[in-house]
A and B are shown apart, each in its own frame.
Chain A
Amino acid sequence: MKKFLKNNILYVAFAQALVAMMGSLFFSEIMGLPPCVLCWYQRICMYPLVAIFLMGILFKDKNVYRYAFPLSLLGLGIAIYHNLLYYKILPESIAPCTSGVSCTTKFFEWFGFITIPLMALVAFSVTSLCLVIFYKLNKNSNDQRN
């Protein structure tokens, strides 16, 4: 199991980042839902992850977590904040949305609970978790090299 995870966990992270990127493009470009400010910040974090994971896999770079972690954690932080606003746990007044689309605008809910901010939160949680697992499983080989 450990070996399987060690060999494949980056593929899971790559697939997740790719699906998240395409999903966000689907919502904005096909469904015509304009992204809010916080959505843009999350896109800034998610899109580079696709390229970083891809290069990490192709060049078998064991240090890929070093480049990916900051983006993934930053994205996770913004996603948590966005969800707190969206579900009205935090008041909207402190949200940095001053023009265009409000960050709490409810465009749709699939099955009554799946929303765009929730999907973003899941995506960043998955990439972050994959990176933690990748780091733990490759820790020994990294330590030896350093």
Chain B
Amino acid sequence: MTKETKITLGICLASIALFIGFIYYYKATNPTIVKVVDSQVLVREDSQKIISKTDDKLTLVEFADFECEACKAAHPLVKKILKDYDGRITYVFRNFPLHGNSVLAAKTAEAAGEQGKFWEMYDKLFENQLEWGEKSTPQTGLFSTYALELGLDMEKFKTSLNSNDYADKIQRDQKDGVTAGVKGTPTFFLNGKKVNPNELINEIEKILKQ
């Protein structure tokens, strides 16, 4: 074995040892991988929700960002679930803002919610995301147009938006998301368990068959 081979082998082994050491350290310091997240963390009293009319067999919580493209892509799936399981599922929307206009969009939806139009604004924000997403300037004007289109009382809407009332709520949503193990958006929890969006319908069917 040449000197070069010995040294490079040594470096490789040291790196692998370091890698394994980090894995053990990480696992030791993060021991609790919560399988079922506490419902207190997932659903707050003032969270925006569509409540099941029959029983509490199914609760779907989504942590999402109105500006996230993956959330926009998942939006039709959520709509389909809400339509197909209408009245049999409780759907809860939690904010997890990650982009430039995400917080403003979340505030816009909450402000619309104050006038009973949260879900209409929720649809509008996702459906028109291409129009306002990934912009470096605040999209207040465009959001006001959406509010106008939804027939909101504009004085009331602007007051709610400027009052910063919802900043704490949005921040708390995000904190709850981190506690629940949310690392990206959208993240879905079905009855407290994190579920891949592609498996949502299968999982719902499984629970309904039980």
Question: Are B136 and A92 in contact, with the CB atoms below 8 A?
Answer: yes
- Assess whether A22 is interfacial by the CB under 8 Å rule: yes
- Assess whether A77 is interfacial by the CB under 8 Å rule: no
- Assess whether A34 is interfacial by the CB under 8 Å rule: yes
- Assess whether A141 is interfacial by the CB under 8 Å rule: no
- Assess whether B70 is interfacial by the CB under 8 Å rule: yes
The count of residues in chain B whose C-beta lies closer than 8 Å to any C-beta of chain A is 25
Question: Are A26 and B70 in contact, with the CB atoms below 8 A?
Answer: no
Residues of A within 8 A of B70 (CB): 99-100
Question: Are B5 and A58 in contact, with the CB atoms below 8 A?
Answer: yes
Residues of B within 8 A of A132 (CB): none
- Assess whether B175 is interfacial by the CB under 8 Å rule: no
Question: Are A18 and B11 in contact, with the CB atoms below 8 A?
Answer: yes
- Assess whether B135 is interfacial by the CB under 8 Å rule: yes
- Assess whether A89 is interfacial by the CB under 8 Å rule: no
Partner of A93, one of B18, B26, B135: B135
For B134-146 the 0/1 string (1 means CB < 8 A from A) is 1110000000000
- Assess whether B23 is interfacial by the CB under 8 Å rule: yes
The count of residues in chain A whose C-beta lies closer than 8 Å to any C-beta of chain B is 26
- Assess whether A44 is interfacial by the CB under 8 Å rule: no
Residues of A within 8 A of B99 (CB): 92, 102
Of residues 64 through 109 on chain B, the ones whose CB sits less than 8 Å from some CB of chain A are: 69-70, 98-100
Question: Are A14 and B100 in contact, with the CB atoms below 8 A?
Answer: no
Residue of A nearest to B136 (CB): A93
Question: Are A30 and B23 in contact, with the CB atoms below 8 A?
Answer: yes
Question: Are A58 and B8 in contact, with the CB atoms below 8 A?
Answer: yes
Docked CA distance A107–B12 (Å):
28
For B42-76 the 0/1 string (1 means CB < 8 A from A) is 00000000000000000000000000011000000
Q: List 22 A-B contacts (CB under 8 A).
A: A11-B7, A11-B8, A14-B8, A15-B11, A18-B11, A18-B15, A22-B18, A26-B26, A30-B22, A30-B26, A31-B26, A32-B183, A33-B183, A34-B183, A57-B4, A58-B2, A58-B4, A92-B99, A92-B100, A92-B134, A99-B70, A105-B98
